[in-house]
Every structure is written in C-alpha cells, then in structure tokens.
Structure 1
Amino acid sequence: MTRTHSQSVHRFADLKTLYAEMTATPEFQAVFGEPMGLTIMAPGEMPMELDMPDPLAVQADCGGVVACLFDLLNDTRLEALAPDIAWGFVNSFHFVAGKLARREDALAQELGEMARVPDMSEVYIRELEEKQLLCQSVAEQREALEVMCDFAADMYRAVSGMPWSPARGSRTSNRAASQVDALDFLRARQLAARERHLPQGPIVVFSGPAQWHDTDILFAKLDEIRARVPHMTLVTTGQRTGADAIAAAWAGRPGVKVPLVSFRLYGSGAKKAFDRNRKLLELRPVEAVLCEGSGIQANLYQALRQEGVPIHAFRKGDQTPDVGLRRGMARGRA
C-alpha cells in the first residue's frame, strides 16, 4: 500500500467515524424509517414483509462513496477525472428514479381505469388491491432513490465546489432546489396537471459567460436580491461552468434552496440564443443579473433594458484576481 493510498484510507475512515456520530436527517427518517407493512419488489411477485435499509447507513454511504471517489484520486494523475466519475454515480440515482417515476405514472393510470369501471367480483378486488400495493411500492422506491440522489448531489457540491445537475430531464424533488429544464418549464406553464414543475415566485434572470471565477461577488448580489424578493425563482441560461454554475450553486446552498430553472440552449447558433433571450423576456422577470460575456449577454442586456427590467451588471474586470490562475502562470514561468 502506497503512502498516499494509506493517507486516503485513514481520511476515509475518519469520515466514516464522523458519519457514525450523526443522526439521519428527517428526509431519510421519513422514507427509510417508516416503511409500508407490505411491499411488492417487482410486477408479478407476491407481497412480502421486507425491511428498508437503515436510514443513517444509507445517508452515510451515499455521501461516503462520493467523498471516497475524490479522496481516492486526489493528488494522482487521475484527479481531474474525479468530478466526472462522481457525477455519474449521482446520476445513476437520478436515472433509476426517473424510470420508477414513469412506471408509477403508468400504474396510477391503470389503477384509475380499473377504479372507473368497478367490478365487485373477487378476482377484480384482488387485482385492484395488488395494483394499488404495486403502485405504492414503486412510489416508495422512487422516493427513496430521490432522497439518496439529493444527498449524494449535496456531497458532490460540497467536495467538488460545483452543483450537480442532470444531463437530461428535470430535478424536482422536494429537498433540492427545483432544477427544471426549459422545455419542461414552458410545458408546465400551460398544463395545470404538472403544477409541481411550475415555479410560482417572481422570476430573476441570470446570465454570464462560461469563464467566470469570482463566486463572492455573485453570491453577495443574489443574497441581496433574495432579501428583497424572498419567493424568487432563479432562471439561468443553463451553462454547466462559469457564472451560471456559480448561480446554480448559490441556489442549492443549505438554507437557500431557491427554485432554479436551467433555460438551456436547445440547438446551436446565434439565432437560437437570441430566440432564448426573447423567451426569457416573456417570463416577465422582476430583476436580472448579467455578467459580461459574448454578444448574447449584450443582446439580453439591451432587451431587458428596453423592457425596463432592473439589471445588475458585472464586468469581467469587477472580479477579484484569480489566485489559482496567477499561481499557474507563475509555475509556467518558473
């Protein structure tokens, strides 16, 4: 065992000790601590009495695996790959939860159709009860995966410094900031049945370049806006790096949890980007935060200004110096 690996094992052991002193959060207690009496593991199987995993053990391992991945690769030539690997681990929970949600919707529809055409025969009653238990079992599984995904995502943000967001689809569990893709968001505004995807608060638009390092200046401004608009919904232009990622990290901080809409660019080219700017205006934002970037940000600035939307604009030169960049340049000259 190498010295570096030995240090990694000891640090991870300390992390497990820390978890052992914790108590599970209410979200894990609610989902894992109070399971249904019976469950159906998969369609066609008989109802069974099975325990759920221990709430604290699930919470500790969901966070521990993410932390261990970073710890394992730290100070090695594979260190740069740690965020991608950990991202995939968190995404596996999101992916399976999505499959369960679709199965739950299908079962609920089947259950509704059976209830609308009642048949008092014993076969009908037995099938109805089994279908209801199966739907409840899938819902319980989905809730468990969502809670695990949220906690693993929080650990990813804490260790990497960047917010976790799914590559596709929406993240709308109760515990996390609601991250809703633009297409879902626009559909939700038209369909009352999908009300949980519809952020109700006043819209604050945020846009910035993919290269931006000053977190403090943006956090301070967003804190200031939230103090004035406590029920705000933050709509970003959805880039996974730079200013938009910083805004997403602010929205997902413990104690903040501001609903976040990632208004990503579907397609490529300037026309698509300008169309998105127009759609952002249609949301009738109450304020906007813009960081100096490309002509897309300049176009959005002009459009918002014409509509009379209050704008908080930052130039690249407003940032504090990037200490990491300066160190890298110094090493290059050495």
Structure 2
Amino acid sequence: MSRSSSIDRFADLKTLYAEMTATPEFRAAFGDPMPLSIAEPGDDPAEHEMPEPLAAQADCGGIIATIFDLFTGTRLEPLAADLAWGFVNSFHFVASKLERREDALADEIGEMARSPDMSEVFTGQLEEKQLLCRSMAEQREALECMRDYAAETYRALSGWPWSPARGSRVSPASSASQIAAQDFLRQRALIAREKHMPQGPIVVFSGPAQWHDWEPIWDRLDQIRTRIPSMTLVTTGQRKGADAIAAAWAARPEVGVPLVAYGLYGSGRKVAFTRNRKLVELQPVEAVLCEGSGLQANLYQLLRKAGIPIHAFRKSGQAADPVPPGMHRPRLRVVA
C-alpha cells in the first residue's frame, strides 16, 4: 500500500492488493534473506525462508483492516481502535524483545573480542554468536517493517497515529517517529544513536485534554513547517485533546514530522512543572500553546522569559466539530 493510497472499507482491499507491489521497505526486509540463519537460540545454522514480501505486506495490513470492517456498523465499533492498537503493539513488543536480546548478544561478542582465544572452540562459539546476532537483527527488522505498515493502516482507518504504550518507536520506515521523552533526552545527552535523536530545530506544543478547534492548529503548524522544514515537534504527550490533534498533524504522510511525546514521569505535584522547565531547556525555536490550565500558563511564562516566540490560541470561539476531515473518533487506548 503506497502512502498515498486510501482504505475506506475492507471490501476495497482485494482491488487494492491486486494493484500494488511490495514497498521498498518490505522488499528490503523480506526479499533478500541471509543464506544461513539461526531461527532460535540453540538451533543449528540452516537455510530458512522468509515470507514473500507482498504476502507479508498484504496480510499485515489486512489483519488491521479486518478488525475495523468486522466491527463497523455494530455495537462493537467503538472497540475497533483499541483492538487494532493491540495488534500493532504486538509487533512492537516482540521487536523490542528481540532488540534487547540482540543488544545482550552484541555485548557478549564484544567481551569475547576483547579477550581473544585462538582455539577452534572459541572461534566456533564467536562465529555462532555473530550469526545468531545477525539472525535476530533480521527478524527484528522484519517485525519493525510489519509494525510500521500495520501502524499506517491503523492511522488510515482510525484517523489517529499509533504510538506504543512505552518506550520508543524508531524505524526508517516510520512517517513520524514517536519517541518517548526519556529515550530522547538520554540519546540527546549521549549522542549514541543518531536514529533516536531528531536533528531538526525543536518546536514545543502544549494544550489541554479538552480541545476541539483543530483547523487553526493545523494551519499554524503548516506555516511553521514551511519556515522550518526540518523541525521536530515536542508535545506534552496527552492522547486526546490538543496534543492528539498535533500528533495527528505530524503523522500525516505528507507532513512526516518527527514527534517527541514528552509525558509525565514520576509522581508528585511538581512533576508537571518540572516537565515544563525541561521543555524550555530543550531550547525550542518556537512554541505553540493552547489555553488550558495553570500548566499551560506556567509554560507560557517560562517560554516568554526565555525569549522563545509563542503562538498562543485562546479557548474562546472553539468550533463544535471535534475532528479533522477523514478522521474518526475512536476510543484510543490510554496508557498511564
């Protein structure tokens, strides 16, 4: 499915699949497997086939589309987005587990490389660990590819971008990277992995959980992106209201702006105000604020004191229409 394609009903999929070819991401992840791989730790190296790229792509999108089609027009329709979210998250969960195993193996390989032993046993063990690490990386990349495609199908059908329950979603195929704030700050400080560190100028966004007037927000963000095409959008991480409107804007394929969801971490009354201070410490080039609680007022004061240009929207005159065109009102999964 090209990113310009649109799916409205499951019945459209058969025609859509007949017209499409596998995307470059699926061809790269599934089309050229390693000659030998280890499917599971403890197995001997063998020739294992990968799923056919187009079949993997079609079935991956079809799983998500089937859920929406099955529930549409029934009393279960409000649950479709929650259930589809879980399917996308399953790909993300398993890929993350593989990444942790891959990192642990890489550490073991590094330890062995620093203490070499010229024996045949040592050489065999080192080669096996390297092959296992590469095999896990191949599996992880395939699952990340499927996750990104399922997430794009979810966005097309629900109208809202998918984001993981915790941690980061980082992939070159992602239209908008959803990066957890803790990962973002850690990688920004260490400069360890470029894909976890958005390079563009930062634009901060914050607004209340109750906000309906989406058009002025999208228009203003469009204007900012025109002036700052390499921008990274940092929101306060709420899954509804103003932050969700901004996240939906960033996730549009024609926009593709990296998104950092800077949620609340820790407990206590001062956590949110500490978060405001840290947002300012990111040295944003501009900020967009929607009038809300004292948190937005506090952030406004901090940004103004730092001399950062602010685009402010007041509550008055909010439109009755709560969602942008083509977007539905699913019950999104809210993660504490």
- Structure 1 position 140, deviation (Å): 0.4
TM-score (norm 1): 0.90
Of the candidates 171, 174, 177, which is equivalent to residue 169 of structure 2?
171
Structure 2: stretches of 5+ with no match in the other structure = 1-8, 324-336
Q: Distance in 1 between matches of 2:317 and 2:121?
A: 72
Match of 1:82 in 2: 80
Q: 2:46 matched to 1:48?
A: yes
SS of residue matched to 2:287 = strand
Instruction: Point out the structure with max Rg over C-alpha.
Output: 1
SS of residue matched to 1:193 = coil
Match of 2:260 in 1: 261
Q: Distance in 2 between matches of 1:251 and 1:259?
A: 7
Contact 1:206 1:289 in 2 (8 A): yes
Q: Aligned letter for 1:75?
A: G
Contact 2:231 2:258 in 1 (8 A): yes
- Structure 1 position 299, deviation (Å): 1.4
Q: Aligned letter for 2:32?
A: E
Of the candidates 63, 69, 74, which is equivalent to residue 61 of structure 2?
63
- Structure 1 position 166, deviation (Å): 0.7
TM-score (norm 2): 0.89
Describe the shift of the 1:225–1:323 C-alpha distance in structure 2 as closer, same or farther (beyond 3 A): closer
Contact 1:199 1:233 in 2 (8 A): yes
Q: 2:286 matched to 1:287?
A: yes
Match of 1:332 in 2: none
Describe the shift of the 1:294–1:68 C-alpha distance in structure 2 as closer, same or farther (beyond 3 A): same
Match of 1:322 in 2: 321
Match of 2:29 in 1: 31
SS of residue matched to 2:205 = strand
Contact 2:286 2:310 in 1 (8 A): yes
Contact 1:16 1:64 in 2 (8 A): no
Match of 2:118 in 1: 120
SS of residue matched to 2:192 = helix
SS of residue matched to 2:270 = helix
Q: Aligned letter for 1:238?
A: G
Matches within 5 A, 1:52-201: 52-176=50-174, 177-201=176-200
Matches within 5 A, 1:6-21: 12-21=10-19
- More relative contact order, 1 or 2 (CA 8 Å, 6+ apart): 2
Deviations along 1:76-114, whole A, 9 cap, x unmatched? Answer: 111111111011000000100100000010111111111
Contact 1:16 1:60 in 2 (8 A): no
Deviates more, 1:48-57 or 1:119-128: 119-128
Deviates more, 1:170-179 or 1:131-140: 170-179
SS of residue matched to 1:136 = helix
SS of residue matched to 1:29 = helix
Structure 1: stretches of 5+ with no match in the other structure = 1-10, 325-334
Match of 1:301 in 2: 300
Deviations along 1:22-48, whole A, 9 cap, x unmatched? Answer: 011111110101111111001110111
Q: Aligned letter for 2:293?
A: S
Q: Distance in 2 between matches of 1:294 and 1:155?
A: 34
Contact 1:15 1:64 in 2 (8 A): yes
SS of residue matched to 2:301 = helix
Q: Distance in 1 between matches of 2:145 and 2:108?
A: 26
- Structure 1 position 268, deviation (Å): 4.9
Deviations along 1:172-212, whole A, 9 cap, x unmatched? Answer: 11121222211112222221323432222111000111122
- Structure 1 position 263, deviation (Å): 0.5
Q: Aligned letter for 2:92?
A: H
Deviates more, 1:191-200 or 1:85-94: 191-200
**RMSD after superposition:** 1.6
Match of 2:328 in 1: none
SS of residue matched to 1:206 = strand
Q: Aligned letter for 1:68?
A: T
SS of residue matched to 2:193 = helix
